[in-house]
Chain A
Amino acid sequence: KAGVTQTPRYLIKTRGQQVTLSCSPISGHRSVSWYQQTPGQGLQFLFEYFSETQRNKGNFPGRFSGRQFSNSRSEMNVSTLELGDSALYLCASNTQGQGETQYFGPGTRLLVL
């Protein structure tokens, strides 16, 4: 079974630009979560999508948004990039029901200059 894929793996942007990251979950999984990982804050939850609907959102500004398509692929967008947005962005593909487990992709490393 193929794992979670994330594209691109690396990105360099400048302040003020916007960026879109993509995630393809494990086949059959309908829930996707996004996290931001930085050395200082660790992993912080951004949002979760299930069947194209955002069910949960973390404490991030409105510049961070996402969506999910009918094939469960998900994208997240960050507008008006700031230096502090430099981080590893991780997507997790989630099982549902009893014994929910999150399986992570390799991440997208974003550097904002």
Chain B
Amino acid sequence: EDQVTQSPEALRLQEGESSSLNCSYTVSGLRGLFWYRQDPGKGPEFLFTLYSAGEEKEKERLKATLTKKESFLHITAPKPEDSATYLCAVQPPAWGSQGNLIFGKGTKLSVKP
């Protein structure tokens, strides 16, 4: 069964304290891996798509990387406004999976000033 596991479930950081979030997956023939940010009461906001092992994407203080079995979201010198739940999702092979992303449960990040 295709699965996505995120760790840790919750992470508390001090402002400026860099860290990484992990997303491991068991999907054969991965077509894409996605990172989203979700604020309370809102829909997920798209951050990155990664397609192949070794690929990296950056946006402001965030950097996403991908290996054959997992992805990392690195947060450098976080600020309080980075506090949110970060969701990882994978896109299985095309046949029979149109429009279906498999999501992890998320990592809730809190950044204290």
Give A contacts to B, CB under 8 Å. Answer: 4, 31-33, 35, 42-45, 47-50, 55-56, 58, 90, 92, 94, 99-107, 109
Asked if residues B105 and A42 are in contact (CB atoms below 8 Å), the reply is: yes
Asked if residues B42 and A103 are in contact (CB atoms below 8 Å), the reply is: no
Residue B110 is within 8 A (CB to CB) of chain A in the complex: no
Shortest beta-carbon distance from A93 to chain B in Å: 10
A-B contact count (CB 8 A): 68
Q: How large is the interface on B (under 10, 10 to 19, 20 to 34, 35 or more residues)?
A: 20 to 34
A98 to B3, CA, bound (A): 23
A44 to B105, CA, bound (A): 10
Give B contacts to A, CB under 8 Å. Answer: 31-32, 34, 36, 41-46, 49, 51, 87, 89, 91, 96-106
Contact of A50 among B44, B96, B98 (CB under 8 A): B98
Main secondary structure of the interface of B (DSSP, over half): loop
Q: What chain A residues lie within 8 Å of B98 (beta carbons)?
A: 31, 48, 50, 55-56
Q: What chain A residues lie within 8 Å of B44 (beta carbons)?
A: 43, 90, 104
Shortest beta-carbon distance from B67 to chain A in Å: 20
Asked if residues A48 and B100 are in contact (CB atoms below 8 Å), the reply is: yes
Q: Contacts A104-B44, A109-B41 given; indicate if A43 touches B103 (C-beta within 8 A).
A: yes
Asked if residues B43 and A33 are in contact (CB atoms below 8 Å), the reply is: no
Q: Which residue of A lies closest to B105 (CB)?
A: A42
Asked if residues B96 and A56 are in contact (CB atoms below 8 Å), the reply is: yes
Asked if residues B100 and A56 are in contact (CB atoms below 8 Å), the reply is: yes
Contact of B106 among A31, A42, A104, A105 (CB under 8 A): A42
Q: Which residue of B lies closest to A58 (CB)?
A: B100
Shortest beta-carbon distance from A24 to chain B in Å: 14
Asked if residues A102 and B101 are in contact (CB atoms below 8 Å), the reply is: yes
Q: Contacts A99-B49, A100-B32, A101-B34 given; indicate if A107 touches B99 (C-beta within 8 A).
A: no
Q: What chain B residues lie within 8 Å of A42 (beta carbons)?
A: 103-106
> Nearest 4 pairs between A and B by C-beta?
A48-B99, A104-B43, A33-B99, A43-B103
